Structures are given as structure tokens and as C-alpha cells.
Structure 1
Amino acid sequence: MKITFKTVFSTITYIFILFGCYFLITKNPSFSPPVILVIMYSSYVIFGLGMILSIRFNQGRVFLILLLLTLSQLFLNYHSQLSIDRTTYSQFLYPLMCFLIPINIVIISHLKERGLFSLWGKIRISLILIELFVLYIIAKSNNTSIQKVVNYTFMNLPLDKTVMNQTALLLFFLTLLFFIIKAYMKKSVFEIRLVGVIISVFTALFFINDKFSFSIFLSAAGLILIISIIEDSYSMAYLDELTGIPSRRALRENLMKLGNKYVIAMIDIDFFKKFNDKYGHDVGDDVLKLVASNLVQVTGGGKAFRYGGEEFTILFPGKSINDVIPHLENLREQVSKSGYTRKPSKTHNSKSKSKPENPSQLFVTISIGVCEKTSKYKDHNEVIKGADKALYRAKKKGRNCVSK
């Protein structure tokens, strides 16, 4: 549910950015020359800021896309300074750039983060520079065979006045479709961002002859990537990497927002250390994810956090113990019935006669300690300590129960 909300929120944000670009274009005639000049060079500022942020937060893929867009804009805007005439530009440089950008974004999206200044990072940056240099050499060659391939027409369509050729249009369409399908299948916010980037870059290149629109839509692509850096930084700071639920830092901030009436529940997975030692850390990690996925579904207005290790916390603002006990009992029962299907371990020794294990379901239980803010427990630190004591009592009662 959290991923779905995040995806929808990101999608709406990027749609607003694109609508904002359209609004700026419609207001173009009313802008003064200095404002127009600032807007036309704004993309370079946005790309530069994005690259600084991507270096700071080690976002290698975002850096590579921003570098690609920056160099591509420089090539297209200053082709005459590179001794490329208008004919060569329209027949070679521009269509080749329309091929280069979407193909590279698809490739970059599949790369793993390896660090910008590592050997892999330097190789990736070098490959982009080499690609652009090769593209420049091809454009300067004016080879008629390459020109025919680049500007090949598949079918007769009413696109005579369109500056982008059919091959580039098809390539952008396939790239957009690829990221839409991938975003839907993986429920990935990163692919949603790339959908917005591809739409922005396509629109910019489609209106290449209007330098104002070209710069605005490239700026939109840069803004989307900057927002992605901010969103990822927030996730790293406030969301637990393993389970995906809010972390202890987020818990501390939420504790400061509580009023005079609230309940805190401390939750611990029963016998988790023995479970981890028996089945291994990978299975243990999967079980932590399974428990967390149940905790975020707690009813009664509760919000779940990972406290540390196998411990979790749930806050119930504005509630009393009697209000939350039924919801915690339902949660405890729900966790106890949620089985984890362990994959069978295959025997690799051909001499062994033992058969591979059958898939089996593993079950865990949780113990819950609950404490309410009262005159005895005056602040959230004391309430947490009270919930911890209640959790200890739940363990002594035999586990798999709620204690207050």
C-alpha cells in the first residue's frame, strides 16, 4: 500500500511539472526578454544542481542521465561552433541524438549503483563521452549510406512537417512503453520517474526548433530527476531499508508530534534468534519483511515502525489502551497465521542419495507490550519503557500474547 501511494504521488507530481511547462510556453509572449533569457538557460542550472546532488547522495544512474542530457543540449544548441552546418545537423546530428538519448536511458536504468568515482563509474562516464565523440565523427562524415539508414521511412504518414523522423518516433514510443510496463510490473517509482523523463525529453526534441520550449522541457526532465534524488534521500533517512516501513529516526520525529493521549505498543518476534540460527539470515530477513507487512495493516489508527533487530513499535495517537487492545489481538493472530513458504534446498552432491526438501511453510508469533500515557508515564520515553516492561511480561506469560 505504501509503494502504491508513493507511486501515485510521484506520478501526480511529474504530471504537474509537465503541465507547468505547458503553462510557461503559453505565457511566452508576455515574458520580457531578460526572463526569456533566464528560462532558456535554466536547464543548464538545473542539470548542474542535479549532478551536484547526485554526487552528494551517490546517485550514479541519475548523474549519468543528467550528464547525457547536458552534453546533448550543448551539442544541439552549439553545433555551428563545432563546424557542423545546418544540413549536416538536420540529416545526421539531430536524428542520431534522438536515437542516442532514449537508448542510453534504457541502458542506464539497468545499471547497478557502483559509485561515481569507482572504476566502474569512470568507465560509464567515459563511454558516454566516447559515444558523443563517435556521433560527432559520424555526423561530420556526411556518409550517404548512414543518412539513408538514419532517415529511413517505414510507411507513408502525414508527418512531412515533423522534424523528428519515423525511426526516432518509434524508438521513443517503444522506450516509453517499456518503462510503463516495467513500472507496472515492478511497482517501481524509479521507472515512473523515467516515464516522466522520456516524455519531457521527447517533447523537448520534438520542439527542437523552438529553443524556448526545448529548454523548458529539458528543465522538466532535470526537475524530475532532482525530485527523485530528494525522494530517495528521504527514503534512506526515514524508511527501513530491509522492511520498507518507517525507521527509528521516523519514530523519533513522530513521538515529538504526539499529544496528551496516546498508546505505544512494543512488538518482538518470538524466538527469532533461534529461528535465524536454524534457517539462516536470508530466511530471517524474509520473515522480518513478512511481519512488517502485517504490522502496517494494523487497524485502529496505528502506525508501525521498525525499532531495531526483531523489534517493532506501533503508535496509536489519541487512543487509550482499551481502544487498541482488540486491534493488537487481531494483529497478533494475523501474524501467527501468516506462513512463510521456504524454498526447498537442492542437493548439489550427485553422490548423495538424499532427496531435495519439499517446500515448507514456517510460522512465527509475536509478543506485544502496551503502555498508555498517564500521570505515571508522563512522556514518550517513559511510555516506551512501560511498553518494554509490558513486553517482558508477555514473554514471561508464554509469548504470542498481548500484555499491558
Structure 2
Amino acid sequence: MLKERGIFSIWGASKIAFFVFEIAIVSYFIFNPSENLQSFINIKLFAISFYPLKDVAFAIGLLVLFILIALVLFNRYLIYNTSFFVMVISFYGGLYFLKTAHATDISLLAISIIIFALLIRESYRLAFYDELTSLPGRRALVEDMAKLGMKYSLAMIDIDHFKKFNDTYGHDTGDDVLKMVATKLSEVSGGGKAYRYGGEEFVILFPSLEVEQAYVYTNLLREIVATSAFDVRKKHSNKKIYVKISAGIVQNKPEDKDPFATMKRADNALYKAKKAGRNQVVKA
């Protein structure tokens, strides 16, 4: 539940100190048994037996499980919380079947596999997804363009007057506008997929779609963004503004050497949309 703040910082040092303290306490009681602690561990909390787990251990396990269930249901990091939930089930399963052959080995193996999968997933997310908008980034776009077939359409999209907006309302509000536009673009129909190309520019790929169909879906997105009010919150007032986008959309041609040539033509179409007055989609 704590935010990641690195290892080489006061926060990282505090986490390491906490883990070392835990290990030290457990080690101390292993080598210096206490009758009071032993009686506390052996306390009976439930009418039924959960042998070989002690009742206190089972109660702690239940508390952890309830917390993780709440995180799975109400926290936005579903994949991570679900993984932690399965890890706890594996851990307590290994403890409960302690006397079964290889129970703990299988439990620890399952936990290791989950951690390994999480590391791969997190590495992929950092490499291919934009942190601000949660859209796939430029690297993901390049990889997906390499998989395109013989026919596809591509739209270059830009937020109108974004620099002026940043200068007027500040970069924090500008970031919120980027998130809002990205959310709308991510809901594109027709099998399209939105990417953040950089700054206030976005790209939508329409695999196997002709430009006439892709134009309809892109123009619909433009209308949705243009009619979606955005609240600019200041100290004592709220102001509703409307953000506009322009787009240039093209279909690949046989003479295009690669998808980047198609993207260049889409960028030229976007420039025409800007020159023609913005808040429109130009089909090249």
C-alpha cells in the first residue's frame, strides 16, 4: 500500500530497517523462547481446529485476506492486488499442508512464479505505456506498426491551442486535459487503438480498416471531445471549458515504404486541419 520511493532514500532505509527488525525479533524468540509468548501463540480463539496452524496465525491470515479482498474490489491496481491475494493463499496453503510432501516447496515455487510474472508485467508497463495518460506510448506504437497487414488507416491527432491553454491555466491543469482527451481516445470504435505519440499528439491505428470508415470513427471522437466540458478548478471558482482536437487521417498506399511514411502523410493532413481552422478531421 506504500508508494515506491526507491531504496537509497530515507523511505527505502526505513523499509529495510523494518524488515531487519522483524527478522531480528523472530530470531531472538527462536533462540530465546519465552513462556509468555508461547502461551499467547497457543491461545484458543476458534471452536474448531486448524492444525497445524495455530489459531493466532489463522486469525492473522484472515485479517490479511480481508484486506487484500478489499484492495482487489476497490483499488485500481487489480493485477497486483490479485497477485498478492494468490500469493497469500499459496503461502497459507503451504503452511496448512506442512506435513504433506513438498507442500512448502510447491507453495514457494508458486509465489516465485507470481513474483517473476509481476516483474515482467511491470517492466512491460514501464517500457510500453505512458505514465501520465496510461495509453500505450511511442515504443508500443512502433512495435504494433511492425505487425500491420496490407491495409490499415492511421490518424494523427493534436489538441488545439494546447500551449496557450498551459500558459493560461498552468501545467497541472494541462496534464488533466491530456488525461481527459486520452480517456476519450481510448474508447475509439472500429477496432482502433490509441497511443500517446508525445506532448499533446496522439495516434490512432485502424488495422484492416479503410480510410472512409476510420474517418467516421475519428470524427466521432472529435465531436465527443469538443462537447465534453472540462472543469478548471481554482481557489474560489470553477470554470467550464471545452477542449478541441484536430486530426489528419490517411490509408496506407503501396508506394509507402513503411508505416512511418504513412504516418508522415497523416501528419501533413493534420497540418492542413490546423491551417483550415482546427477542430476538424482532414482525410488525405
1: distance between equivalents of 2:51 and 2:192? 55
Quickly say closer, same or farther: Cα 1:155–1:204, change in 2 above 3 A: closer
Q: 257-266 or 306-315: which moved more?
A: 257-266
Partner of 1:219: 109
**1:281 has 2:177 as partner:** no
Aligned residues: 282
SS at match of 1:251: helix
Partner of 1:156: 47
1:294 to 184, 189, 192: 184
* 1:26-41 matched pairs, under 5 angstroms: none
Q: Deviations over 1:133-166 (max 9, x none)?
A: 2222223333222222222212422x1x611112
Question: Is contact 1:377–1:386 with CA below 8 Å preserved after alignment?
Answer: no
Partner of 1:133: 24
Quickly say closer, same or farther: Cα 1:328–1:145, change in 2 above 3 A: same
**1:361 has 2:240 as partner:** yes
1: distance between equivalents of 2:254 and 2:98? 69
| Greater percentage in helix | 1
Partner of 2:54: 165
Partner of 1:106: none
2: distance between equivalents of 1:391 and 1:376? 20
Amino acid at match of 1:128: F
2: distance between equivalents of 1:343 and 1:152? 55
1: distance between equivalents of 2:98 and 2:20? 22
2: distance between equivalents of 1:208 and 1:122? 34
Deviation, 1:170, is 1.6
Deviation, 1:284, is 0.9
1:374 to 253, 256, 261: 253
Deviation, 1:218, is 1.4
2:263 to 375, 380, 384: 384
1: distance between equivalents of 2:269 and 2:2? 48
Amino acid at match of 1:177: F
Q: Deviations over 1:6-54 (max 9, x none)?
A: xxxxxxxxxxxxxxxxxxxxxxxxxxxxxxxxxxxxxxxxxxxxxxxxx
| TM, length-normalised to structure 1 | 0.66
Root-mean-square deviation (Å): 1.7
Structure 1, gaps ≥5 residues long: 1-109, 346-355
Q: Deviations over 1:345-404 (max 9, x none)?
A: 2xxxxxxxxxx22x3333201001011112454531221111111101111111110002
Deviation, 1:117, is 4.2
1:270 to 149, 154, 160: 160
2:232 to 309, 331, 342: 342
1:202 to 72, 92, 104: 92
User: Percent identity at matched positions?
Assistant: 39
2: distance between equivalents of 1:211 and 1:118? 43
2: distance between equivalents of 1:183 and 1:330? 34
Deviation, 1:319, is 1.6
| Greater percentage in strand | 2
2: distance between equivalents of 1:341 and 1:183? 30
2: distance between equivalents of 1:120 and 1:194? 22
Partner of 1:116: 7
Partner of 1:176: 65
Question: Is contact 1:296–1:304 with CA below 8 Å preserved after alignment?
Answer: yes
Amino acid at match of 1:316: F
1: distance between equivalents of 2:281 and 2:256? 19
Deviation, 1:324, is 1.2
Deviation, 1:316, is 1.0
